[in-house]
Amino acid sequence: MDFEQFRFKSGSSLGDFRTAVGDDFEGYNERRLKKRRVDLWDELAQLQERLYAESKQSLLIVLQAMDAAGKDSSIDKLTRQLNAQGCHVHSFKSPTKQELAHDFLWRVHNKVPAKGEMTIFNRSHYEDVLIVKVHGWADDEQIQARYQHINNFESLLSDRGTRVLKFMLNISPEYQLERFKRRLDNAEKNWKFNPGDLGERQLWPQYMAAFDTALSKSSTDQAPWYVVPAENRLYRDVLIANVIVETLKNMNPKYPDPDFDPAEFNSKSIS
């Protein structure tokens, strides 16, 4: 899979990216994708073990999307494969009074991964240039300054050995509406439906414009954005796992050398 075609680069626009793929998409084959997904998850588990054992580098994965795009299910699929000791998930909802009393990155910086860890953000510091911008909760000058603060923050993480990957799960308003209807039709999913989300749907053009600007200003070599066609969950899973696996391969974590001579011991000599 050529996942680089989904990377948001200079001059890109959200309109350049698909929300769905299917039989019409080059290289799409459901049977092969299912096998590829299993292989990638196995490889991911092995690479995470090396990252955890080495304890010198870390990986931060950011998921942003409109409601019902599949952030929760994407995280569920990923974390099933991983050692919970070295993987953490953090959700960022409306800030508390304490969080509002600090700068907008304060609550986020405290949750970034330590050495050896992988951390997944379900929403993130980008809320402060997305929903905050759409609703006018900060003026244009503040929003413009935040783009630079975010880039500096992610540069700081990179300098200390934390790789940053950011995924925008791209869906259409029609797909979102269908997902909302499914939540209402399934009693076990009713809890996921928020009537307030219907009001947010009316602001779809404003959200897309905010995403376009945020991705344009913050997709960098050290912290790239990938726009994932999220309406096909199999393809979504494979694409996200593929990007993460290739990034970890590039990081090349290694098992540490033991601080003893293994040749002096064997399974029969210890008790």
Q: Is residue 116 part of a domain?
A: yes
Give exposure, 111-150, as e/b (b: 16+ Cβ within 10 Å). bbbeebbbbbbbbbbbbbbbbbbbeeebeeeebeebeebb
Q: The tokens of 192 are what? A: 């996921």
CATH number at residue 83: 3.40.50.300
Q: The tokens of 219 are what? A: 């997709």
Instruction: Among 48-62, 75-89, 192-206, 224-238, name the one with the lowest average pLDDT.
Output: 192-206
C-alpha–C-alpha distance, residues 91 and 24, integer Å? 35
DSSP character at residue 7: B
Give residue 58's pLDDT: 98
User: Which residues are CB-contacts of 96 (< 8 A; sequence separation ≥ 6)?
Assistant: none
Bigger pLDDT: 54 vs 10: 54
Q: The tokens of 116 are what? A: 């050896």
Give residue 268's pLDDT: 64
Q: Is residue 195 part of a domain?
A: yes
What's the pLDDT tens digit per position in 53-103?
999 999 999 999 999 999 999 999 999 989 999 999 999 999 999 999 999
Q: Is residue 95 part of a domain?
A: yes
Give residue 197's pLDDT: 80
Give how many domains the chain has, as a whole number. Answer: 1
Q: Read off the amino acid at residue 108.
A: V
Q: Is residue 37 part of a domain?
A: yes
CB atoms within 10 A of CB 68: 23
| N-to-C CA span, the chain | 49
Boundaries of domain holding 20: 3-254
- What whole-number percentage of the chain has pLDDT above 90? 82
Give residue 186's pLDDT: 85
Q: Is residue 227 part of a domain?
A: yes
C-alpha–C-alpha distance, residues 41 and 234, integer Å? 13
Q: Per the confidence metrics, is the pTM higher than 0.75? A: yes
C-alpha–C-alpha distance, residues 132 and 134, integer Å? 6
Cα angle value 116/121/126 (rounded, 5°): 125
Give residue 271's pLDDT: 65
The answer to whether residues 257 and 188 touch, using CB atoms and an 8 Å cutoff, is no
Sign of CA dihedral 257, 58, 122, 96: positive
Q: 3-state SS of the chain: helix, strand, coil percent to 5? A: 55, 10, 35
Q: Is residue 225 part of a domain?
A: yes
Q: What is the H or E stretch that residue 65 is in?
A: strand 58-65
Q: Is residue 263 part of a domain?
A: no
Q: Is residue 266 part of a domain?
A: no
